[in-house]
Every structure is written in C-alpha cells, then in structure tokens.
Amino acid sequence: MWHRAFRDSSALQEALFFKPSEKRVDPEERRINPFVQSNLWRGLFRKKVKKHSRAHVRRKREAYLRREASWRRMLLKQPPSNNITIVGSLYLGTRNLISSQLALNPHRDWCRLGDLYSGIEKEIIFPARDPFVFLCVVHPLSEYPVSFEPENNFRIFKKRPPWSTVPISKLLIDCDVVFFHRGTPFKLSTWVEFEDWLWSLGKFDLEPTLGGDLDNWCFGFPGRLRRSDSKYFDSGVAAYSHIFFDDLTFHRRIRAQVSQSQSDREVKKDLELPPPPAMFDTVCTLPLSADLFSQAIHPREPIVSVGLSTGHVQTFRLPSEESDTDDDGAESTSSSRNGKGHIDTMWRTRRHKGSCRCLGFGVDGEMLYSAGTDGLVKAAKAETGVVENKIAIPPAKDGSVDAPTIVHALSPQTLLLATDSSALHLYDLRIPFSPVSARPQQSHHPHDDYISSLTPLPPSDTSTSGFSKQWVTTGGTTLAVTDLRRGVLVRSEDQEEELVSSVYIGGLRASGTSRGEKVLVGGSSGVLTLWEKGAWDDQDERIYVQREAGGGESLETLAVVPDELGKGKMIAVGLGSGGVKFVRMGMNKVVSEVMHDETEGVIGLGFDVEGRMVSGGGQVVKVWHEAVDSDGMDGDMAGGKRMFGGDSDDSDDGDDSDDSDRESPKAAPPQRKRKKNKGKGGQDIMAFADID
C-alpha cells in the first residue's frame, strides 16, 4: 500500500527528494536533504568503520548498505542544480585556489546520494565536516615538506590547508556538491582516479574527443581556457567559471565585509572564530606505516607500544620530563620542552600474521601482551620485544579463529582475554604450561555480543594482594560485573544503545547514597553514562558529550586525566570523529577539546607516567603536553610545532618476517641525560623541537 501510494504520487516523491522539483526558486532557497543532515552524513558518510569491526557491526552496516537501499536514489538538494564545483590549488607549494564549475546534463539523471557514496567506498573522495563537501587525492592535514637543508634534517611543518579559508556556504549556493583537491593533474598521479570515477557516473555529456581529461577545464593554467573542443564549449553544455583566491586579498575582503556589515551572518559563519585555549598542545606527531589497531602505555616508564593492521608491533620511548644536567652541573629545562627530547624506536617486529588487535602491558610493565587475528596471544619482554611465551586462543564453535577483542593483565597471576564470540577467558599465569597449548582456567559469557571494553575495579579495603578481583565489561547494549572466583555477578538492563568504552573514576564528592565512585561508559551516540559502583542494574546519570541531530559521534575510548595535572576530576573522551573532548566531573560538561585527526577516529587514548596525553588513530600517534598559558608562550611556541626525522617505520623494512619472535632490539634504549650538543634528529628518531 505504501509502495503504491509513493509510486503514484509525484508530490510525495518530490517531498522525499526522489523526484526533482520543477518549481523555480532562488539558489539560496534550495533545501538540503534533511536525511543527510540528520543521519547519513555523520552516521554513514563520515562514519569510520574499523577494519576490525565485530560481526554484528558489519551485519548492521551491510543491511543498511544493500544495493537496493532507497536512500541511494535520493537527491542532494531540492530542487537540484545541474552544477558541481571543484576547487583546487594551482601548484603543490602554493596557496592560490581555482574554483571550477562543471554542469551535469539533466537527461542523464541528477547527482544522487548513491553516486557520492560510490566514491567514498572506493576511497577516492573523503567527506569533510560540512555536508556535500569532499576532499579528494590529498588528505587535508598532510604535512607539507618546506625545507630540505641538511642542518634541518628534512623539516616538516604542520600547516592548515589552503582551502580552510574558502567560504564553503557561498560555493554551495549555486551547486550541489563541492570537491577540493590539491595540485595539478600532472603533479598527482592519483588525480586520474578521481576523474575516472567522475566520468564513470555517466552524468556528463562529454564527447569522446575530450578523453575525460579535466585539464580541459584549465586547472593548471590561470586565466587561460584551453578550448580543445570549441564545439563542445560553444554548445553551452558545460557552465565554466574559474575564480582565483589569493589568501591575503581574500582575508582582507572578508574582514572588510564583517566590519561594514555586522548583520552578515553567513560571512561570520564562514569565518569561524578560533576555539578557546585547549588544555593540551601537540608536542609531536608519529607517523605509522599502517592503520593503528591498538595502543598501550607503560605503567611505570614513558613507553608507548602500538599494534598495526599489518600485524606489526612497535615500541617507542618518549623523552623524560626530568630535569637534565649540563656539564657545569646546572639544571636545564626538561628535555621534551626545550626542543632536545627525542622519541626513539626501541624495537619493531611483525608479531602476528594477521592484524594486531590488542595490546596490554603487565601490571609491572615487564611484559607486553599482544593478540592478533592469527589466533595467538604472545607475551614479550617490553624492553626488547623478545617473545617469552605464546597462548593459542580457543577456537569458535565452528572451528574458525575466534579473533580477540581485549587482552588485559589483571594482576601478575591473571590474564583476561575477550573474543568476538563474546567469550571471556581467564588464564592463571602461575601454572606452568607449554607454548601454544595452554587452556583457560575459566571461561565466561557476560554478554550476548562481543566485549567492547573492560575496566578493573579497585581492590577492596580488606584485600591482601592489592590487586583487583572484579571488573566491569561492556558488550552490545549491556554492562556486566564479573568476579575472579564467582564468575558473572550481575548484568544490567538493556540500555538500547551500543556501549563502546568504559573507565573507573574515584574520589568524587559523596552525597546521599553515592560513595564517590563511578564507572563511566561511552555510547555509540555521543552520550556518556555514569554508573554508581555497586548499583549495576541501570545508569545513574547522563552527559551529552557530542549532541547532534540524529545522534552524536561514538565515544570510542575513555581515559582519566591524572590528578597531578591539577585539572580536578576530569575524563578525556576520544571520539569517532577524530576529536578528544575533556569532561569535568561535578560540572558534568565538556570544558575543552582538541583535534587528533579530521577524518580518522581516536582508537587509543591515555596518559603516560609524566602526565602527557597520547592519542592514536588512523596512521598517526600524537603526544600532547599541558598547554602553556598564552602570556608565557615564546614566539616559537606560538609559531607552531615542528617535527624532525623521517618515518621510523620505513627504516625497519627488513623486520617484516613472519617468524620474528626472537628479534633483538636494533639499538639500546636512549639514556635519559643528554648533553646540549646532542639530540639531532635522525632515522628512527623523532624530535621535540621549538617547544619552549
């Protein structure tokens, strides 16, 4: 009945953005598809689905992405235009922009949502924050090399992309979608992928003589239109225009408009005000050779380990914040702040044949446990990376590999391992066993779905060992508490939302029945729920970390901000959108935010022993230190951060063997004390430069 009514009603098809409206309206009055703003853009187009997503996540996504899904046939705007805009810089080293507008031919159908998503699936175009704005060919936050002098050791600056100042809302008035690229076609070979995809949509009335070459639209030659086919252009099929954006002139013009007309809200929206001072500043960025799947921070030393999609495990040593002593015995500023500290690669190896899904240090930090999709858990020395033992993960019921989701050392005697099948295995490390043959001492199924997070609860006052014996897990839409001896104690009610992450925080203000101890749980829709310790049936409070229409971003990872930083009781929240937000407890609201990455979600988040925040996601790990007040910043700090040295991963290509369990470290760990003339960047070393 509904299908028949929809099929026979043109008005209904127009209202639901399936049929183009023939009503003529001003360009400013065209309506954006509300389903895109409320659901699709954040929930699908910009939703970063991890390659190690669990089975139920894949099933939901596959059902939504079936080829016959009706949203694929929906229009972008109503009424639609017949234009798309492509904006690009002229050359790789410049910030001048050219805007070119291409016309779609109506008899070839209009541009629809399914057309755009085909480019996302092929990883040719990447959705930006604004709806119907895409980046192609080059990631917007790429580091651009600007100096190759030997003394600078390949200095790289983190610069804002030139298109960050373009008034996007103005461009979208006359077109349906905007694509940003960087560099001319002959400079970037991957540009061919974009133009091939564009022509494959079949929405352009191109003659074969053009050969699908976008250079006919003069992307590389300002002020000069190469009419290789005059008949084509004279026919009026394509609407062509190019506009040149010079940064200085553009900014002056916009500032003049703002000062002359305070009521020009659109210009104010385009010129976003800078965010309030952030709590943390980026010290250094570590590029990785593959996607980050797991991250672990040493409990006692400034050491960070990462597990990659290729199965590699790499361990870095961060510079010490302790005061260095020079030759005269005088104390100098801490190494990471005076520009002389280095991040050194301690060791790197291909630990697993599949991806490395999980990492975790032992309680004392002596051992590093890793688990991969090859069905193995390996215990290695944290200092050297040499494997001491292996454990085979129990297979699934059908005999296939039951891939791990979490590995956690509860104590020196107990190792917890969670898998895709919702199993939770407990291993007693005191019992001697032969490699690859150990069986778990206990196995539980606290949830119907895979375990997404595990948080140990602090030991009771009567504990003699001082180690935790209970822990909280989240899986699917429920929370559960499990005891080391008694098994699963309690399981919460269905929260009607996927629970993704969790963390314990104590020392809160006690009042009434509250003892000041809570477990915070991050959900898939941007809501942080608070659970009173001991009252596990249902949540106690809710904090909206990312409030948006149609649901906010997933809260992928949580970490407690150390009390030593003097920030009060605070939680750091890593988002699926790539941001990190800070929630102050008591006030129960977001007080600060930093950005890890524009497109990749935050996979790992934590603080090292010296209070520095370490965030990881995509192919980048970032190290942050507490922000310096603006009054105390030198010019170098205000001028931006710098990074020295090449990609440390590239220097270890010879280690990519399957059997690398007995690898020795390539170099001894660096000494903490350095002389003033030491510390120049080199391969396998990343420097903290120009920080103070």
Write down the domain spans for the chain. 16-270
User: Among candidates 277, 382, 343, which has minimal Cα distance to 633?
Assistant: 277
Q: Is the pLDDT of residue 348 over 80?
A: yes
Q: Is the pLDDT of residue 561 over 80?
A: yes
Distances (CA, A) of 533 to 43, 107, 209, 553, 569: 32, 64, 72, 26, 17
Asked whether 332 and 326 are in contact (CB, 8 A), the reply is: yes
| 604-623 average pLDDT score | 94
| 391-415 average pLDDT score | 92
H or E element at residue 686: strand 685-689
Question: What percent of the chain has pLDDT above 70?
Answer: 63
**pLDDT at residue number 623:** 94
Separation CA 130–CA 308 (nearest Å): 30
Beta bridge partners of 534: none
Most confident of 100-104, 327-331, 588-592: 588-592
Instruction: Please give the residue that has the higher pLDDT: either 161 or 518.
Output: 518
Torsion-angle region of residue 26: left (phi > 0), alpha (psi -120 to 50) or beta? beta
Q: Is the pLDDT of residue 493 over 80?
A: yes
pTM score of the predicted model: 0.59
Q: Is the pLDDT of residue 438 over 90?
A: no
Instruction: Please give the residue that has the higher pLDDT: either 525 or 245.
Output: 525
Distances (CA, A) of 154 to 143, 145, 148, 363: 12, 7, 5, 39
| Tens of pLDDT, residues 243-272 | 223 333 333 333 444 344 443 444 334 434
Separation CA 539–CA 264 (nearest Å): 45
Q: Is 648 helix (H, G, I), strand (E, B) or coil?
A: helix
* Ranges 228-232, 503-507, 558-562, 661-665: which has the least confidence: 228-232
Across all residues in the chain, what is the average pLDDT?
72
Tokens of 295: 């991250």
Separation CA 553–CA 545 (nearest Å): 9
Strands of 69-219, DSSP E? 77-78, 83-89, 97-103, 125-127, 133-136, 144-147, 155-157, 178-182
Which single residue is written with the structure tokens 């790499």?
Answer: 314
Most confident of 189-193, 280-284, 653-657: 280-284
Q: Is the pLDDT of residue 228 over 60?
A: no
Instruction: Please give the residue that has the higher pLDDT: either 304 or 228.
Output: 304
Q: Is the pLDDT of residue 644 over 50?
A: no
Asked whether 672 and 320 are in contact (CB, 8 A), the reply is: yes
* Ranges 231-235, 346-350, 520-524, 685-689: which has the least confidence: 231-235
Question: What percent of the chain has pLDDT above 90?
Answer: 32
Instruction: Please give the residue that has the higher pLDDT: either 527 or 37.
Output: 527
Q: Is the pLDDT of residue 568 over 70?
A: yes
**pLDDT at residue number 513:** 73
Burial of 174 (0-12, 13-18, 19+ CB in 10 A): middle
Q: Which amino acid is at 575?
A: L
Q: Is the pLDDT of residue 210 over 70?
A: no
Q: Is 193 helix (H, G, I), strand (E, B) or coil?
A: helix
